C-alpha cells in the first residue's frame, strides 16, 4: 500500500441485514473476513519472497536479530505470520514459535508445508488473547500498515505486553516515500514503549519509483481491459492523477499501453528480481536523497521499564555513541 500510516479507520462494529433483520458484525469478524478474502484473491501481496526487496528485508531483519540475541531455546511469536516464511526460519534456528494471524486462509498456507514445531494461532491483532510477558522474542513484520492509525499506539502496547522484560521486540514496516517525516513518526511511535537497541533502514525509494514507471503500461492496460478495476483505481485518485489515469485507461489510448506493457516487462522483471541492481540503486538513492530516500524501517528494542531508573542507575549506564533516528 502506498501510505501505510494514512489508512482510514473503521468502526468497531458493522451492521448488516440478513433476512431483513439487523445483524452486528464485530471488528474481529470484519477483519477476518477481509483478510480471508484477500488471501483468496490477492495472496501475492502477502508473499515476502515475491521480489528482491522483500527478500532483502528478511535478510536484514534476520541479521538485526542475530546481532542482539539468539534463537536457540527461545520462545518467539510471529504476529501477522502469513504463510510462515519467517516463523519457519526461526523454528529452524532453534526457537519454539507461535505463529499468529487473523486469516484462516493464511494459517492454512502455513500448515500446508513443513509446519512441524510451529503452533498456528488464529487471533486478532492488536487485541490478542496471548499471555502477558510470555515471549523472549516478539516479531511483527509489515503488519502496522494494515492496522488503522488510531490503533497504532495500542499495537505498540500489545507488543510490549507480550514480551518478557529481558526479551526483544522486532518491528518493521514500509514507509510512504511521498510523505514527509515518516521515519520520525515511526520512531516516535516506537519510543513510546521501547528502548531502541538498533535501527535498520532501507533506501529503496529510487528503485520503487523506477519500477513504478515501467509498471505504468500494465496498470493502464488493465484499466482499459477491466472496467471494475478501472473504477476502483479512479476511486483512489483525485485531481490530475485521476484525470491522467482516466485518460490513459480509456478506449482511445488503452490499446497502446496493452502493447507497450510487453516491451516494459523485461525491465520490470529485472528491477523486481536483481539484488545487485537493487543494492546499486540503494547506494545512489542514499547518496542523493539521504533520509528522504528511506522506504523501509526496522528496529529491535526492549520494553521500557514501568519505573524509571534512578540517577545512580543512569550514571552506571554508559551512553551509546550513535545518533537517534530523528537527529
C-alpha cell, 287: 547518496
pLDDT classification of 308: cutoffs 50, 70, 90: low
Model pLDDT, residue 316: 53
The overall average pLDDT reported for the chain is: 89
DSSP secondary structure string for all residues of 57-114: HHHHHHHHHHHH---TT-EEEEET-TT-HHHHHHHHTT-EEEEEES-HHHHHHHHTSS
Stretch among 3-7, 20-24, 283-287 having the lowest mean pLDDT: 3-7
- CA dist 189 and 178 (Å) reads 19
- CA dist 278 and 207 (Å) reads 7
Report yes or no: 122 and 102 within 8 Å, Cβ to Cβ: yes
Model pLDDT, residue 232: 92
- CA dist 120 and 112 (Å) reads 11
Q: In which element (H, E) is residue 12 found? A: none
Stretch among 12-21, 90-99, 206-215, 232-241 having the lowest mean pLDDT: 12-21
Report yes or no: 61 and 172 within 8 Å, Cβ to Cβ: yes
C-alpha cell, 132: 502477558
pLDDT tops 60 at residue 322: no
C-alpha cell, 105: 486462509
pLDDT in tens, 208-227: 999 999 999 999 999 999 99
DSSP SS3 for 307:
coil
Percent helix, percent strand, percent coil in the chain, to nearest 5? 50, 20, 30
Q: Where are the beta strands (DSSP E) in the chain?
A: 13-18, 21-26, 75-79, 96-101, 118-122, 135-141, 163-174, 194-202, 296-303
pLDDT tops 50 at residue 253: yes
Model pLDDT, residue 1: 43
Report yes or no: 175 and 296 within 8 Å, Cβ to Cβ: yes
- pLDDT, average across residues 70-98: 97
pLDDT classification of 25: cutoffs 50, 70, 90: low
pLDDT tops 90 at residue 310: no
Report yes or no: 5 and 176 within 8 Å, Cβ to Cβ: yes
C-alpha pair distances (Å), 187 with each of 26, 84, 201, 297, 308: 31, 27, 12, 9, 20
Asked, as a colleague might, if the bond just before 322 is cis with ω within 30 of 0, I would say no
pLDDT tops 50 at residue 8: no
pLDDT in tens, 254-303: 999 999 999 999 999 999 999 999 999 999 999 999 999 999 999 999 99
Model pLDDT, residue 306: 75
pLDDT tops 70 at residue 41: yes
Model pLDDT, residue 315: 60
pLDDT tops 60 at residue 13: no
For the chain, how long is the longest CA-to-CA vector? 74
- CA dist 24 and 9 (Å) reads 18
Stretch among 167-171, 221-225, 236-240, 304-308 having the lowest mean pLDDT: 304-308
Report yes or no: 205 and 278 within 8 Å, Cβ to Cβ: no
Amino acid at each position: 500500500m502506498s501510505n501505510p500510516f494514512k489508512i482510514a479507520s473503521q468502526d468497531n462494529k458493522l451492521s448488516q441485514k440478513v433476512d431483513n433483520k439487523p445483524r452486528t458484525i464485530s471488528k474481529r469478524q470484519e477483519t477476518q473476513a477481509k483478510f480471508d478474502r484477500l488471501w483468496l484473491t490477492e495472496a501475492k501481496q502477502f508473499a515476502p519472497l515475491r521480489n528482491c526487496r522483500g527478500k532483502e528485508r528478511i535478510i536484514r531483519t534476520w541479521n538485526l536479530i542475530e546481532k542482539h540475541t539468539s534463537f536457540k531455546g527461545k520462545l518467539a511469536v510471529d504476529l501477522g505470520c502469513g504463510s510462515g516464511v519467517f516463523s519457519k526460519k526461526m523454528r529452524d534456528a532453534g526457537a519454539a514459535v507461535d505463529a499468529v494471524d487473523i486469516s484462516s486462509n493464511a494459517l492454512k498456507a502455513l500448515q500446508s508445508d513443513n509446519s512441524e514445531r510451529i503452533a498456528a494461532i488464529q487471533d486478532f491483532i492488536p487485541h490478542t488473547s496471548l499471555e502477558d510477558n510470555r515471549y523472549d522474542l516478539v516479531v511483527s513484520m509489515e503488519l502496522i500498515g494494515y492496522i488503522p492509525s488510531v490503533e497504532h499506539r495500542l499495537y505498540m502496547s500489545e507488543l510490549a505486553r507480550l514480551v518478557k522484560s529481558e526479551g526483544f521486540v522486532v518491528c518493521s514496516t514500509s514507509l510512504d516515500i511521498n510523505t514527509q517525516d515518516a521515519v520520525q513518526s515511526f520512531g516516535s511511535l516506537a519510543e513510546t514503549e521501547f528502548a531502541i537497541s538498533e535501527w535498520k533502514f532501507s533506501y529503496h525509494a529510487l528503485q520503487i519509483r523506477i519500477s513504478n514507471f515501467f509498471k505504468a503500461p500494465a496498470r493502464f492496460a488493465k484499466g482499459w481491459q477491466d472496467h471494475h478495476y478501472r473504477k476502483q483505481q479512479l476511486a483512489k485518485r483525485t485531481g490530475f492523477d485521476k484525470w491522467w489515469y482516466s485518460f490513459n485507461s480509456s478506449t482511445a489510448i488503452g490499446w497502446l499501453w496493452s502493447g507497450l506493457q510487453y516491451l516494459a516487462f523485461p525491465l520490470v522483471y529485472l528491477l523486481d528480481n536483481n539484488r545487485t541492481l537493487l543494492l546499486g540503486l540503494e547506494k545512489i538513492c542514499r547518496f542523493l536523497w539521504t533520509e528522504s530516500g528511506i522506504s523501509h524501517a526496522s528496529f529491535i528494542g526492549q520494553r521500557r521499564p514501568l519505573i524509571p531508573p534512578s540517577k545512580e542507575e543512569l550514571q552506571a549506564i554508559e551512553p551509546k555513541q550513535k545518533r537517534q533516528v530523528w537527529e
